[in-house]
Amino acid sequence: MRKISPALLITIAALWVCNAHAAPDAPASDASPLLATTGFLTQVDQVRQSVTDKTSELVLDAMGLIGVPYQRGGSTVDSGFDCSGFVRSVFKQSIGLLLPRKAEEQASATHHITKSELKPGDLVFFNTMRRAFSHVGIYVGGGKFIHSPRPGGEVRVDNMGQSYWQQRFDGARRVLADASAQTTAPLSMLASSTTEQVLKPQAPKHQALKSAHVKKHEKKHEAKGHKAKKHASAAQVKKSSHTKKHTRR
């Protein structure tokens, strides 16, 4: 099993930031290697400072697991990870939040956002097994996400712009401090709690309506049963009274 040191993680993150902000038509000169090195060190320092942010911490924790092998049903470093087990482990270890175990349940328990709203730490879902939300990863910025891909693979970073992932993209989700909230909240709010929080998948709307309909039907049926029992009791009293009267005669 292979893990990446924090110093190398900072270097990788800084390279991404440099690539994202590099001028496409910058003129070349003899001083460019020195300037590039100076700029690179500046970016490293900026990334190091940003690690105090909980979202950055979560992303760096996830990247620290690069190289851990895929294992179906796995959810620990020792056993290996499948996709949802990897996501669940990162959120639990980084911010003390326990997501549901399955990818589709994680999609159900989190807040829907558009692709353009993606920020580091959000979840991205893909249809890789001919069913919705069959694969999940963590967005790390720059159009990239980290995930545990498949049997024989390892935790790695991939580009969402690749045709394979573009064609299979199923949606994005944001983890909220309150699962019932209608607005997003920063991940740092999740980390402020000293107790482990649990997000549960929400029942689909049609299922909730069906459940309400069933309860209404049960109450109606119960009321009818109570009414019928009352009538039967009244009829029995009347019959008993009639029998006594007939016996006297």
Active-site residue set: 83, 135, 147
φ/ψ of residue 64, rounded to 5: -70, -10
CB 176 within 8 A of CB 185: yes
**Torsion angle in degrees (nearest 10) through CA of 17, 21, 26, 28:** -10
Which amino acid belongs to residue 80? G
Within 13 Å and on the Cβ side, how many CA atoms surround 82?
11
CB 236 within 8 A of CB 230: no
